[in-house]
Amino acid sequence: MLDLKQELVSRFMRYAAIPSQSDEEITAVPSSQGQRELSSLLARELSELGLADVYVDEHAICYGTLKGNCKGPALGWCAHLDTVDVSLSSSIHPQLIRYTGGDVCLNEEKQIYLKTAEHPELERYRGEEILFSDGTSVLGADNKSAIANIMTMLAVLADNPELKHPEIRVAFVPDEEKGLCGSKLLDLNRFKVDFAYTIDSCELGEVVWETFNAGSGTLKVQGVSAHPMSAKGVLVNPLLVVHDYIAMFDRSQTPECTADKDGYWWFQGGFSDPLNATLSINIRDHDKERYEWRKQVLRDNLELLQRRHPKARLELTLVDVYENIANHVTRDDKPVAMLYQALSELNIKARTYAMRGGTDGSALSAKGLVTPNYFTGAHNFHSYAEFLPLSSFEKSLQVTLKLVELASRD
């Protein structure tokens, strides 16, 4: 019999030992060698566990299939190989500490502490074993706890052939943190499932099946340059054209003025010289119609801008980046309903929230594969303060195993 806690922790430590930070500066996928390394390790382990069709493609996406021994919907799990690039150290040294209350010393030598004054949530886990970073990096529970979770589920099924399960496919993808790059490249012919899950949310009970619809835009402006001594009536300053464009939008609909289910335009960067300017824009909205409306406003305002500056050459490109999972699924549809049922049968209180961002599931949903997301059990993703209580880690695994069981009841 597998000791599940032991299995989760040893797998987590093994995967965390491979630095697989994605690299913002590199456009190739994967953006770092460590992700390739982790992907090959996982491929070897999948083969050892008896999975079929184990395959690593040129983007380091690792695929594997566990043949079913009963009927039921084919289930997929997708997790990301990379850890976030937040200029903290890329090598990760997790430590398992029994938390006895108060501040935690993460690093004696560097005198780094996790303080309950800043992180009162720690106190909820008094007396428990918790995985912490050493204070010099993230912990990487985002998303290596998901990888450990999925691999342990497969190990449990390999170890207990009498357990009923439908076909299960897994995929480990690179560069999620850079804009869902890996899942966008995922080959759905190799990941042929009825629906899938990611395990990429934080604390116990979190369920996410609503994310933003997301798009990005670029406005290019070519003005008319002139020497300032003879510029009157001639010069068209591209920077001021961009300024006029931005001024046409409602200033209350920006990231800094919105929350919950309010969408926004984010004019997030640009470049300008005397002749040319570019402006990059992010568009976000949970509501698909409002999202489309936001794109239309960008186009309509462009027309107004053109009338105002007839000599400027304007070009606006808009690209859809990912989609709200809820565009493709309701709470009562099987992928989501089964997740709530799993939590309910395990007596875990569901904490549903509409994510102001996207997950790999948003990219997969845009490709037509419904992929809700549930908790890893960790706190404080993307920070040195990231920590993972083992009790929540185990509960997350229990949800994974329960989903398999529920699918096999079909």
Binding residues for Zn ion, per CB under 5 A?
142-143, 200
CA distance 252 to 256: 8
Yes or no: say if 129 and 121 are a contact pair by the CB < 8 Å rule: no
Q: Is 118 labeled as catalytic in the residue annotation? A: no
3-state secondary structure (DSSP) of residue 409: coil
Q: What DSSP designation does 228 have?
A: G
CA distance 150 to 6: 15
CA distance 238 to 285: 29
Residue 130: CB minimum distance to Zn ion, A: 19
**How many C-beta atoms surround the C-beta of residue 203 within 10 A?**
17
Sign of CA dihedral 161, 163, 166, 172: negative
Residue 183: CB minimum distance to Zn ion, A: 11
Residue 229: CB minimum distance to Zn ion, A: 56
Closer Cβ to Zn ion, 279 or 325, answer by number: 325
Yes or no: say if 281 and 268 are a contact pair by the CB < 8 Å rule: yes
The phi and psi torsions of 365 (rounded to 5 degrees) equal: -65, -40
Closer Cβ to Zn ion, 202 or 336, answer by number: 202
In 3D, which of 76, 84, 21, 32 has the Cα closest to residue 186? 76
Q: Is 103 labeled as catalytic in the residue annotation? A: no
Residue 200: CB minimum distance to Zn ion, A: 4
Q: Which one from 23, 45, 176, 210 is the annotated catalytic residue? A: 176
Yes or no: say if 209 and 329 are a contact pair by the CB < 8 Å rule: yes
Closer Cβ to Zn ion, 73 or 140, answer by number: 140
Closer Cβ to Zn ion, 142 or 285, answer by number: 142
Q: Which one from 82, 134, 177, 386 is the annotated catalytic residue? A: 82
Closer Cβ to Zn ion, 167 or 200, answer by number: 200
CA distance 301 to 314: 11
Residue 269: CB minimum distance to Zn ion, A: 24
Yes or no: say if 38 and 18 are a contact pair by the CB < 8 Å rule: yes
Q: What DSSP designation does 21 have?
A: B
Residue 176: CB minimum distance to Zn ion, A: 6
Catalytic residues: 82, 176
